[in-house]
Structure 1
């Protein structure tokens, strides 16, 4: 059962800060962004001289990029499958080049007496 102490965990002067104590907030502008899935996001930006509003914004619901044109939202990024180190090596070298390198490495090991 709670002790009923109303000021427990608070300090002197604590309380909600109102507009008067914080000062006036900067004027804001709300921009709508739409993603490929049709989600609308409305971030607000401070209205300042020289303010540049971003062309794209990440959708907080699906993570796709969102644009300001509802009819033509940006397309989702293409997800490339995970490539192994061997896949990257095979992109740079042909099978014939790989065989030559393997033969050189095996010859080096044979000269050291590590393999027969």
Structure 2
């Protein structure tokens, strides 16, 4: 067993932790943000800081605003596009048919050799 004079939960050199040792805290303001799922987030900001209009909800990740009645809408996400979808946006069906015919002509010519 350890010595009877040890104070449990402390370490050597640890002193009292309080306002006197760390200094005064900056004045703070808590601001409430509401997301479209009804979650309330209230981060604290320094009283002289610029407070942002939008804040990300830590529970669902949606943007949250300060207006309780009109929270910001969820951002619209674009669906994943394949490489072929991007090619079809750039080329018409006639262009695709011409490129295919050219490639098939090269394959047929190579086969004849």
Range class of TM-score, shorter chain: 0.7 to 0.9
- Residue in 2 that maps onto 1:30: 30
CA distance in 1, matches of 2:64, 2:80: 25
CA distance in 1, matches of 2:28, 2:68: 22
Secondary structure in 2 aligned to 1:81? coil
Q: 1:26 to 1:71 in 2, by over 3 A?
A: same
Superposed CA deviations along residues 58-99 of structure 1, whole A, max 9, x for unmatched, are 001111100000000001112332211111211222121122
RMSD: 2.8
Which 5+ residue runs of structure 2 have no aligned equivalent? none
- Residue in 2 that maps onto 1:70: 68
TM-score (structure 2 length as normaliser): 0.77
CA distance in 1, matches of 2:64, 2:84: 35
Superposed CA deviations along residues 18-40 of structure 1, whole A, max 9, x for unmatched, are 22111111111111000001111
Q: Which moved more, 1:35-44 or 1:77-86?
A: 77-86
- Residue in 2 that maps onto 1:18: 18
Secondary structure in 1 aligned to 2:21? helix
- Residue in 1 that maps onto 2:45: 45
Q: 1:28 to 1:100 in 2, by over 3 A?
A: same
Of 49, 57, 60, the residue aligned with 1:59 is 57
Structure with higher Rg: it is 2
**Paired residues, number:** 110
TM-score (structure 1 length as normaliser): 0.75
